[in-house]
Amino acid sequence: MGTFSLSSLRKPLVFVLAGWSGFYVMAIELLSGRILAPSFGNSIYVWGGVITIFMLALSIGYLIGGHLSVHAPSLRRLGLILMAAALTTLPVIIWSDALIDMVFTRVSDPRYGSLLASSALFFLPTVISGCVSPYAIRLLVTQLQASGQSAGKLYFVSTFGSAAGTIGTSFYLVLLFEINQIFTTLILISLLLGSLAILFKPASHE
């Protein structure tokens, strides 16, 4: 049974983790605008700051993930990365109101205030989320000549997940649930998937 799991389910699970990570990042990016709006508004300045922080964080995450993938990559560690991204999102639920109020009292300009607040709340979890794709590619690549194909499939799944996260959050989730409920659900799903990755890979191959 262990052999079957390793050969038949390992690769699909890597794709699931990458796809979910894409969903997760876009969901929290969209929700970040809703969190910042009461204090800083919903202008192009605010969204410009939010998008800048997320893109910068992802780019740093790609570099870090590529570096981490060189050293004994494993499905277990990919699961830990996903869980770390989830856990570092918890302060958004606990402290976002207090932190945004504190930033707003000191930097009321919506451009720089939203930039600072989104950095404090979302930069770290987005950096960690950015580590997922390059790390997942390393797990998929078993032959050099197939590396481009593996990367293409992985980025397709990750970007498809991002598209699903965008439309799912903006069209449905925000209409059905409170923001903190959505964040809690996203975090729990990430923790569940990360736990599956940790438990799935046999210890003899780690």
**CA 197/CA 136 separation, integer angstroms:** 12
Chain mean pLDDT for the chain: 91
Assigned domain for 202 exists? no
Domains held by the chain: number: 1
Assigned domain for 144 exists? yes
Assigned domain for 205 exists? no
The domain of 183 spans 2-197
Assigned domain for 82 exists? yes
pLDDT at 101 over 50: yes
- pTM of the predicted model over 0.75: yes
Residue pLDDT, tens place only, 162-172 = 999 999 999 99
* CATH (domain of 186): 1.20.1250
Residue pLDDT, tens place only, 182-192 = 999 999 999 99
